[in-house]
């Protein structure tokens, strides 16, 4: 008799639980992305192949990633803050969902800011904020592809983005 009850309960749960899933609230927090600074413009940077910028190994950074995973629903943190200055790519600090982290807190042994000598390859950036599209989504003004060799930017390809996504704001 107990087996029959258990089987019926399981069948009931298998029927009811899928029906409840669409009613449950879901949150789709955007992942944190590495920030990029170009003069007075800000945006983001990522490797051409995907995702987050490589940084040197650090026990402190791993510890923060674990802590951040418990405190923030956005994946990816802490993320780097990079700047393109004087033909070079610099790591200037880190950010989490809730705070900015000075570079010295993660890498006390590095110069401040640190020339990103560990970076070689191609990286994509988007910078500037000419407007917001319908729904408040930012429309970034400039897309770049940076070719980097041991932190030195050897080539930059730029593409200015279409402001038509701005709607009527672009005319103001």
pLDDT by residue for the chain (172 residues), tens digit each? 555 454 444 444 444 434 444 444 444 567 888 999 999 889 999 999 888 899 999 999 988 888 876 777 666 678 999 999 999 999 999 998 888 999 999 999 999 999 999 999 999 998 886 666 666 666 668 899 999 999 999 999 998 876 666 665 444 4
pLDDT in tens, 88-133: 999 999 998 888 999 999 999 999 999 999 999 999 998 886 666 6
Question: What is the model's pLDDT at position 117?
Answer: 97
Question: What is the model's pLDDT at position 25?
Answer: 45
Cα distance between the two ends of the chain: 75
Burial of 77 (0-12, 13-18, 19+ CB in 10 A): buried
Nearest Cα to Cα of residue 146 among 122, 126, 128, 127: 122
């Amino acid at each position: 008799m107990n087996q029959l009850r258990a089987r019926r309960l399981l069948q009931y749960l298998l029927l009811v639980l899928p029906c409840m899933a669409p009613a449950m609230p879901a949150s789709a927090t955007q992942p944190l992305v590495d920030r990029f600074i170009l003069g007075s413009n800000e945006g983001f940077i990522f490797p051409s192949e995907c995702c987050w910028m490589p940084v040197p190994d650090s026990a402190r950074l791993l510890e923060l990633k674990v802590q951040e995973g418990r405190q923030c629903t956005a994946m990816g943190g802490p993320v780097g803050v990079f700047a393109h200055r004087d033909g070079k790519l610099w790591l200037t600090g880190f950010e989490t969902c809730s705070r900015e982290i000075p570079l010295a807190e993660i890498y006390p042994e590095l110069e401040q800011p640190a020339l990103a000598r560990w970076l070689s390859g191609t990286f994509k950036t988007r910078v500037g904020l000419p407007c917001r599209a319908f729904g408040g989504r930012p429309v970034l003004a400039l897309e770049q592809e940076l070719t980097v060799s041991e932190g030195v930017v050897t080539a930059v390809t730029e593409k200015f983005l279409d402001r038509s996504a701005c709607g009527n704001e672009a005319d103001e």
